Amino acid sequence: MNFNATLIGQSITFIFFVWFCMKYVWPPIMSALETRKKQIADGLAAADRGKHELELAAKKAGDNMREAKATAAEVIVQAEKRAAQMVEEAKTAAREEGERQLAAAQANIAQETNRARETLREQVAALAVAGAEKILRREVNAQTHADLLGQLKAEL
């Protein structure tokens, strides 16, 4: 073993290398590593968050679906109710119309009956007058006996 100035040269070289490494090598690589670590952590956190949000969304979708079903059922019930109501209304209207037409027909019949009765009465009156003329064999002045004839007509 033979010591010489190489010892000092080595020490100086070593110090320079350590200084260079500390200044220009270690920090950039370390910072890249740290940043990547952070990015990965962030990514994982984001994935977790996404998963959570997906669960929430699925739950919300289920809720919406149930609500929609409920609404649909309600709508159907209402529609059925409305349909029943409409049928009812139609029935009522038909019945009313029928009754109205019946009433009109009855009124018509009554009118016709009255008219027929009137005609009949006039004809009977005329017949009665003709019969009385024949019995009396004389002229009956219609004008003189108009009140008599009217009375008769009313009694028939």
Residue with tokens 């679906």, as numbered in its chain: 65
User: Among candidates 154, 137, 138, 156, which has minimal Cα distance to 146?
Assistant: 154
Please state the closest distance from residue 50 (CB atom) to another protein, in A: 21
Closer to another protein by CB, 34 or 80: give it: 34
Please state the closest distance from residue 37 (CB atom) to another protein, in A: 10
Binding region for another protein (CB under 8 A): 1-11, 13-15, 17-18, 20-22, 24-26, 28-33, 35-36, 39
Q: In 10 A of CB 2, how many CB atoms?
A: 4
Please state the closest distance from residue 9 (CB atom) to another protein, in A: 5
CA distance 98 to 103: 8
CA distance 70 to 64: 10
DSSP state of 138: S
Closer to another protein by CB, 10 or 85: give it: 10
Closer to another protein by CB, 8 or 154: give it: 8
